[in-house]
Amino acid sequence: MLAVTKGRQIGVGGSPQSVIRAARYGFSLMLAIIGGSPARFAPFSRLFHEALETLGHAALPVGVHSPGHVALTDEKAREEFWPRYLEVIRHVSKTRGFAVPTKESFLYEIGPHGALYVGSPETVAQKIAVTLTALGATRFDLKYGMGGLSHETLMTNIELYGTQVAPRVRELLA
């Protein structure tokens, strides 16, 4: 977490109605972004702030929740994450209707315009800073526990996120 949000929040994943509902109840907004360009959620962020104003509520924070994985290098992060991601999404796609990812689609999603935050601490921090700026968000929650990763790998991810990624994002946004 880059900021602590006091109070309640509603997570939304792509409908204007859910954004307005969060504003109506006076809850913070958490954008759940799991695929495609995070920048496409900017209209939801604007809609949220407009709805808050129209409804007479004070400004509230917007956050982002997206999957990712941090390792010492970009290559190591990709190697650790890709097979697990493929397995999980392949399983989920059967019931949720998602397309099964290809290596090419995975590389797009971990690139600058995708929704996966996978790489070295610097790579992930840069991408988070760009996303927060584009969406006017102040909080980022990394969904880091992809099934099948070892305990040691998860602990390294947590350590790198807390000791390198979060401080670097704060620095980039200062």
Cβ burial of 157 (10 Å; 0-12, 13-18, 19+) is buried
Average pLDDT over residues 59-88: 96
Query: What does the block give as tokens for 148?
Result: 């099948």
| Domains of the chain by start residue, with CATH | 9-173 (3.20.20.30)
pLDDT tens per residue across span 79-92: 999 999 999 999 98
∠ CA 105-106-108, rounded to 5°: 65
At 158, which amino acid appears?
A: I
Are the CB atoms for 57 and 133 separated by under 8 Å? no
pLDDT tens per residue across span 142-153: 999 888 999 999
Residue 15 has pLDDT above 90, yes or no: no
Identify the bridge partners of residue 139 per DSSP, sorted by sequence position. Answer: 63
pLDDT tens per residue across span 118-136: 999 999 999 999 999 999 9
